Amino acid sequence: MHLDCTPIEQIENFGCETIMFGKIKKLYFVGIGGAGMSGIAEILHNLGYTIKGSDNSPSSVTEYLHNLGITIYNEQIADNVSDADVVVISSAISKDNPEVKKANELGIPVIKRAEMLGELMRLKFSIGVAGTHGKTSTTSMIGRIVQLADLKPTIIVGGIVAELGTGASLGSGDYLIAEADEYDKSFLAMYPSIAVITNLEADHLDCYDGLEDLKNSFLSFMNRVPFYGSVILSADDENLMKLRPHLNRPSSTFGFTVESDYRAVNVKSANGQSVFSVYHNEDLLGEAVLNVPGRYNVSNALAAIATCHQIEIPFEVIADALRQFKGVGRRFERVAEINDILLFDDYAHHPTEVKATLEMAKNEYKRRIIVVFQPHLFSRTKEFAEKFAEVLAIADKCILTDIYPAREKPIEGVTSELILKYANEMKIGDFEYVGKKRNAPDKVLEIAQSGDLIITMGAGSITHIKNEISEGLHIID
């Protein structure tokens, strides 16, 4: 946990007596280990609230929260919530959850995490980062820049920021920077002072009535910005540019196109590093160096540059922070290099993300690529199975595991083999289905050889096999 030196009692307008008007003291988080939940719980704990929570899947995150002094239950039972003032749940938690049912019986308010985050954002000059891809990285970049500008921000992201060792940082300054998730229309509970939109394409169609409904929700989010705020959005994204004329708030754009208000030119990428010149309209702001790979990260950096330039942070500070930025956990995270084999772990779970990661890996490293892919959600696999086959074929070898269901129940006829079916029909790629994820390490180690690049990929539990693969690489010639 990163904390500035200001004592909690000196953090003006941000403490137990001001948030929720002092009416709430004890909060219970159902699914506290989730990426969107743990950071909020940590911030509230450090503000002096009594925090308890449960998670059926113990992890390094729940262990970290326990070590902070937060009570963690590894079993979700009704009696856990009896003394809570409010129960906070993620969108993945069912109304039939025993803790939720008990809270309802006792008349304890049950709210979604987005509503709790919205309450925190209400008391600061808040920057909310939304988009189909790149939210976590962009939020983290903005947070680090504002920190290095000595503005002491509060940061809440859905991943582990390398420089922080956590996804949450409490600061005494005026700014709160947070990820705004579009799933279940959660971001509509937030009213950011600045709304940053990285991109917009079809996803989460299990809770939207098609792409138009999704676009309208993004428009509603952007128009929640107050009259003194602004919207920052990608000029490279066709869907966003079609929405821009319907904004009723000031806006500016970032991107690679000449029409962008903030744009990158002369982009040069090699060995995991990107160097580019940054222009604001016709003015050269300077050169930026980014030590995380991929053109998509240059786009994320442009969003961060535009945001921080608008709150009058000098470009020299922005560039220095970006140069130091080490990335976010599970975003093409380097796990090991053993016997000239590189092992990475990546969160990509949408075809666009998979394509961007695999193309970047192939272009940057010039190695044979083995990807172990665990599809995330039955609904997403059904929607994008053919597209997944196309983009996974970029790898030299793709090992498919069973779908990670998360919050969903199985859909008849939808398995990982649907991706394999499309690949076979199109006669593309080298795919192999291994079933349960526990079968994947042996298959990887059977085919891996010196000079390979291996990626464990997906938003579910596939990350848990990386250590077994890493250990096995030691015995490969």
Residues marked active site are found at: 135-136, 179
Name residue 463's amino acid.
T
Tallying the residues shown for the chain, one arrives at 477
Q: What is the DSSP string of 370-385?
A: EEEE--B-HHHHHHHH
Query: Among 356, 430, 434, 368, which Cα is nearest to 393's?
Result: 430
Question: DSSP 3-state assignment of 109?
Answer: coil
How far is residue 26's CA from residue 12's CA, in Å, rounded to a whole number? 21
Q: What are the beta bridge partners of residue 230?
A: 194
Q: What is the DSSP string of 286-334?
A: EEEEE-S-SHHHHHHHHHHHHHHHHTT--HHHHHHHHHH---BTTSSEE
Task: Take residue 13 and report the two structure tokens written for it.
Answer: 């307008």
Enumerate helices (H) and strands (E) in the chain, giving the number of each. 14, 22
Query: Among 59, 175, 83, which Cα is nearest to 127's?
Result: 175
Edge-to-edge strands, sheet with 50-54: 71-73, 50-54, 26-30, 86-89, 110-112
Taking a C-beta distance cutoff of 8 angstroms, is the pair 30, 57 a contact? no
Would residue 275 be called left, alpha or beta, if left means φ above 0 and alpha means ψ between -120 and 50 degrees?
beta
Q: Rounded to whole angstroms, what are the CA distances from 29 to 44, 160, 365? A: 11, 19, 42
Question: DSSP 3-state assignment of 225?
Answer: coil
Question: DSSP 3-state assignment of 119?
Answer: helix
Task: Take residue 271 and report the two structure tokens written for it.
Answer: 């060995």
How far is residue 12's CA from residue 2's CA, in Å, rounded to a whole number? 19
How far is residue 349's CA from residue 341's CA, in Å, rounded to a whole number? 24
Residue labelled with tokens 């792409």: 211
Taking a C-beta distance cutoff of 8 angstroms, is the pair 336, 455 a contact? no
